[in-house]
Amino acid sequence: MIWKYRVGWVFTICGLPIQDATLMVEDGEIVAIEESAIWPDAIDLREWSVMPALINAHTHLEFSKLKYPLGTQGMSFPQWITEVIRYRQGFGDNIGVEKAQAVQKGLRESAKYGVGVVGEIATLPLTEASYDHSSVHIVSLLEVLGLDPERVAERLAQAEEHAIYPWSLSNISPGLSPHAPYTVRMDVVQHCVALSAAQQLPIAMHLAETMEELELIEEGSGPFRTMLENMGLFSPADFPGGKRVLGYLKQLSQAYRALVVHGNYLHETEIAFLAKHAETMSVCYCPRTHAYFHHDQHPIEELLAQGVSVVLGTDSRASNPDLNLWKEVQHVQKEFPDIPDEQLLGMVTKDAAFALGVEDSFGTIEPGRRALVAAFPIPGDGPDVLTEMLAGQPRLWNLGNGLSEVDLATT
Ligand SMILES: [Zn+2]
């Protein structure tokens, strides 16, 4: 099926934006983009401006049914983790059904806000049906926990199964997520990294997120130690102290693609290391979640200045009021006005596609990419379309299916 569109502005991200562009789409893929209105039968979208579908590089959709974040703003992170565990346990045996519904709700919410790809941290039990969605692509990064010696072998077997699982839906690509330094041993991280390299899968790990995490790594003490002791999971051999975040980064640099999630407390040496490995490593900043926990200012400007690729995520509704990625962009624009607008767009498109290993299909508008776009009801003849876009709100369009009246309604 071939569709043609004449669009007010197309922000391709891989080149300069094009005014009054025409796009040709065949079987869900962009096949041509032209600078002039060469096809008289094209659908008229001159009242709209589009960019590639947004990519939410980090979320946990299983919490998408939450009306409000868990706990209270500014609470201690280990205490919040306890709330998360309690929330999950509250579902008892019904967890599979509840989670599938939450994931579906999260996918619908993502599409509503212009998001066409999610870096989703998946937990077991997991059913393929929960990912059934016509538009949103899911990079399903299986969360791997690994402190309990009796369960490590089982967890690693699950990771291997996830990495090679023959998904029948085409909107899924697999990846792995060794959770965080306070929940996985280094040898488990190493195993996930080896799988990532062998299968060419993306990997994501929460890292340098809190001061308490650094205390556990560097000193072997603090609130995380207490939490793990209470859960019967603390072993001095796992947390002898004297370690650094850099050790984890070195390990992750061996992966096919590695996404350092949060990186709130990355310091000079680590930033320099990330810059040196920018061909495989990226950092995901989750701005409103960062604000929820009242962290120190995020090192995004230092990271960008050194050449590290920074992408954006909402994290989950357990620490964020919604899954609106565009609000994260607006938050960064307000907090860091020196970051150029064009760079902000790259963080939620091209750079995020690379971070998640889906750059062949998403992140830019050019031949060969999927015809998923974020559309803004902003006419092409305005004075400063990019400024209007950044102040506005996109929705997700699948140009491979034509467009309905619902899509084209401007309110
Ligand atoms: Zn997270």
Residues forming CATH 2.30.40.10 domain(s) in the chain: 2-53+363-408
Cα of 349 from ligand 1 centre, angstroms: 19
Using DSSP, how many helices (H) and how many strands (E) does the chain show?
A: 15, 14
Cα of 400 from ligand 1 centre, angstroms: 32
Give which of 6, 11, 80 is closest to 374, Cα–Cα: 11
Q: Which CATH superfamily is domain 2-53+363-408 in?
A: Urease, subunit C, domain 1 (2.30.40.10)
d(CA 217, CA 56) in angstroms, rounded, equals 29
Q: What is the pLDDT of residues 331-351, one digit of tens each?
A: 999 999 999 999 999 999 999
Cα of 143 from ligand 1 centre, angstroms: 10
* Range list of β-strands (E), 37-146: 43-52, 54-59, 115-122, 137-144
Mean pLDDT of 63-91: 90
* Helices 186-199 and 152-164: angle between axes, nearest 10 degrees: 20
Cα of 98 from ligand 1 centre, angstroms: 19
Cα of 207 from ligand 1 centre, angstroms: 10
β-sheet bridge partners, residue 219: none
d(CA 173, CA 140) in angstroms, rounded, equals 6
d(CA 188, CA 152) in angstroms, rounded, equals 8
Cα of 145 from ligand 1 centre, angstroms: 13
Residue partners of 380: CB distance under 8 A and separation at least 6: 7, 8, 9, 19, 20, 46, 47, 48, 49
Q: 411 pLDDT band (50/70/90 cuts)?
A: low
pLDDT, mean over the chain: 94
Cα of 408 from ligand 1 centre, angstroms: 34
Give which of 64, 1, 50, 41 is closest to 21, Cα–Cα: 50
Cα of 191 from ligand 1 centre, angstroms: 20
Cα of 184 from ligand 1 centre, angstroms: 15
Q: Are 118 and 63 in contact (CB under 8 A)?
A: no
Give which of 136, 176, 135 is closest to 157, Cα–Cα: 176
Cα of 183 from ligand 1 centre, angstroms: 13
Residue partners of 172: CB distance under 8 A and separation at least 6: 128, 131, 137, 138, 140
Mean pLDDT of 1-28: 94
pLDDT at 38 over 80: no
Cα of 319 from ligand 1 centre, angstroms: 9
Cα of 277 from ligand 1 centre, angstroms: 22
- Least confident segment among 50-64, 88-102, 343-357: 88-102
Angle at Cα 101 formed by Cα 95 and Cα 105, nearest 5°?
140
What would the CATH number be for the domain defined by 54-355?
A: 3.20.20.140
Residue 44 has, within 13 A of its CA and on its CB side, a CA count of: 3
Q: 410 pLDDT band (50/70/90 cuts)?
A: low
Cα of 102 from ligand 1 centre, angstroms: 16
Cα of 281 from ligand 1 centre, angstroms: 17
Q: 78 pLDDT band (50/70/90 cuts)?
A: confident
Three-state SS at 202:
strand
Residues forming CATH 3.20.20.140 domain(s) in the chain: 54-355
Cα of 58 from ligand 1 centre, angstroms: 6
Q: 134 pLDDT band (50/70/90 cuts)?
A: confident
Residue length of the chain: 411
Cα of 180 from ligand 1 centre, angstroms: 9
